[in-house]
Structure 1
Amino acid sequence: MKKIYSDNLSTLIHGDAIEYLRSLPDKSVDIVMTDPPYFLSNGGFSNRGGKRVSVNKGDWDKPKGTDVVGFYEEFLRQVKRVLTDDGAIMIFGNLHSIFIIGYLFRKLDFKIINNIIWQKANPAPNLSRRMFTHSTEMIIWAKKPQGKHVFNYDLMRQINGGKQMKDVWRTPVINRSERRFGKHPTQKPLALMLRMLQACATTRSKVIDPFVGSGTTVVAGKLLGIKVIGVDQQAEYLEIAKQRLADYQNEKIGNIK
């Protein structure tokens, strides 16, 4: 476990997500916001820019005999232990992982607040022509059963033009400026991470992203004045995160509806 960057708001740590969580005291984190591996790197193919490309993201996303359910369960057990009584988690998943996570939330006695749908405005076409094009991922927002989680309702309503915000958010997959220092294969749009933090955090919150990748969550926290600790086991992605933090004022925020 090695700290490779720190300022008044942002911290980056090179290390394993679960090991890092195990090192934290009980009830020491307000929000966990993260995009864990989906374990989909199985040698198949996808489409990018009209070209056939491998679905493999990297060794970190390969099942390789991993007990996927056991991995998610231990991760969520540690999350529950480190969350404060009023803490919450926002976690990404797709059709291959989100139902496992939802089952584990029930097993581990979390209470689900919302299932948010992220709709991609420009998804990759489906090459097999045997199913609908995959154009969504999901974000489960959950808390401890008796917790009083933060929800910045008035801000969300203001952002939404004076109307209650719904649980379907639409964005382009990503814009080029967010990858100006390098690419992460599962990088999420900055606009999406900003909205998630705006919804459930305050400037007093302690936020952790245990699978921070190229740093979008910490960049969003920097822009909002929220303290975020990002952890990742891939040093090359943390280098991208460091450069983005150094240049955070030049981040361009894409559209979100």
Structure 2
Amino acid sequence: MMNKNLTEEYKDFILLHGDNLEQINQINHKVDMIFANPPYFLSKGCSLQINGIWKNFEKGEWDRERDFEAIKAFNYKWLSAYRKVLKDDGTIWVCGTYHNIFSVASCMVELGYKILNIIVWQKSDARPTLSRNYFNFTTEYIVWARKHKHIPHYFNCNLMEMLNGGTRMSDVWKIPFVASWEMQCGAHPTQKPLRLLYRIILSSTREGDTILDPFAGSCTTGIAANLLNRKFIGIEQNKDFLKLGIRRKEEINSPLTADKFLKKMAENPEEIMVMINHARKELKQKMIEKGICYLRAGDSKGSLLVTPGFERMQYVLLHTNGKDCQLFKLKNRGTFQIWTADTLRQYGFSPTHAPYYVVLFFNSKNPIKIIHQPNLKEGSFTYKAKIRPLSDFIGIK
């Protein structure tokens, strides 16, 4: 087995080839987080005929079906070994289905980990289950645990709340399966979506932290880690999968591709949206004083167009000519009122461009910190109201 780093030209993307229990000796410092996608033990060596075509669902010998005791012995061994390279305040995330996840949780408790959450990942685009003897299988489970029961761990609760519209994010995550743009270099049979790793990494690590994946596969963990300014160590026994991981790393060396992937993996079909609205300096200040944002309703014919995503709007961003941006939370998600110009005048405003206006009410006492300063200079479009995802302003480097 090889034990040298296959990507020596990258200091933030280290790959080791071989058995993970042997290669752990190559890791000479402790890591901040571990993400593991171990075998689910689903493969039975069988094929099924679907619409007249035979399909093989065999993933490999590493995924061969085993009894509970063998699965538990496997999980106990690697969870015990990798606990030693995890920092005392570090956390670990382990994926599975009912075939292996109970074993993982049992081993964690025996080894002294403290289980923090069992995340239910609901695939919003899950394929129908072939057999009609069961409910449709649409979920996988992710155990999140910290190394010690009594040593606190890092959790960016504030960021998760903001990404969830200002309320606590639940332990049920509705995230699509792997998309075609994630498989341009090839596909892995158990590949995880970058959107899933995006949320995991942002919630439990800081920029500059080191993330370890002992079952690296095609290195989705590493791609997400590097895009979010984290370091990555991956171990994989299949060299073809590692070559795929290297191609994926080379793919994001292009700034344009990296930016595209970063934006796509931050996308969420249920993501909270932000209303972007330009206002003159004096008007902007008055809006903040009153907690009222308004914009013209409709075109010259008097029609009102509500853009898709408006129902998920929960923040308003006020700016002046693309500068001096301030972000506030709306008092009610996805709702607005239509006021006449006369009604606005009663509140001290001086509207002159239209007879009717869309009015949004926001909490002006608690501005939201903008992590990613937006570029709103778009020529004439700078002054037009628009909605954009919240992730354009928070969560991304």
TM-score (norm. length: structure 2): 0.60
Match of 1:224 in 2: 228
Aligned equivalent of 1:81, options 73, 81, 84? 84
Matched, 1:95 2:98: yes
Find out whether 1:192 has 2:205 as its counterpart.
no
Per the alignment, residue 287 of structure 2 pairs with none
Q: Secondary structure at the match of 1:5?
A: coil
**Corresponding residue for residue 57 of structure 1:** 59
Whether contact under 8 Å (1:46, 1:127) holds in the other structure is: no
The change in CA–CA distance for 1:173 and 1:48 in structure 2 (over 3 A counts) is farther
The answer on 1:234 being equivalent to 2:238 is yes
2:182 aligns with 178
Higher RCO (CA < 8 A, seq sep 6+): 1
Contact 1:3–1:11 (Cα < 8 Å) also in 2? yes
Is the contact made by 2:208 and 2:229 (CA closer than 8 Å) also made in structure 1?
A: no
1:28–1:16 CA distance, 2 compared to 1 (3 A): same
> What is the distance in 2 between the residues matched to 1:229 and 1:219?
11
CA contact (8 A) 1:123 1:173 kept: yes
Amino acid at match of 1:209: D
User: Structure 1 pair 87/129, CA: closer, same or farther in 2 (3 Å)?
Assistant: same
Q: CA deviation at 1:107?
A: 1.3
Query: AA paired with 1:182?
Result: G
Tell me how far 1:149 sits from its aligned partner.
Answer: 0.8
Q: Which moved more, 1:161-170 or 1:193-202?
A: 161-170
In structure 2, the partner of 1:104 is: 107
> Residues of 1 paired with 2:126 and 2:106: CA distance?
27
The share of aligned pairs that are identical, in percent, is: 36
Among 114, 118, 125, the alignment partner of 2:117 is: 114
Could you list the runs of 4 or more consecutive aligned residues of structure 1 that deviate by over 4 angstroms after TM superposition?
45-52, 63-66
Q: Which runs of 5+ in 1 are unaligned?
A: none
Is the counterpart of residue 133 in structure 1 residue 146 in structure 2?
no
Residues 192, 256 of structure 1: 8 Å contact kept: no
Shift of 1:49: 10
Partner of 1:43: 45
Whole-angstrom distance in 2 between the partners of 1:50 and 1:37: 30
Q: Shift in Å at residue 55 of structure 1?
A: 2.2
- 1: CA distance, partners of 2:227 / 2:186: 20
For the pair 1:4 / 2:36, whether they are aligned, the reply is no
Deviation at 1:256, TM superposition (A): 5.8
Report the more deviating stretch, 40-49 or 75-84: 40-49
| Structure 2 unmatched runs, 5+ | 253-257, 271-397
Counterpart check, 1:71 vs 2:71: no
Q: Secondary structure at the match of 1:138?
A: strand
* Matched length: 256
RMSD across aligned positions (CA): 2.3
SS at match of 1:145: coil
CA spacing shift, 1:98–1:45, aligned 2, 3 Å: farther
Residue deviations 1:3-62, cap 9 Å, x none?
Answer: 11141321122121222224545x712211110111211124579999663221123222
**Relative to structure 2, which stretch is displaced further, 4-13 or 80-89?**
4-13
CA distance in 1, matches of 2:108, 2:163: 30
Counterpart-to-counterpart distance in 2, 1:84 and 1:124: 38
* CA distance in structure 2 between the partners assigned to 1:173 and 1:48 by the alignment: 21
1:147 aligned partner: 151
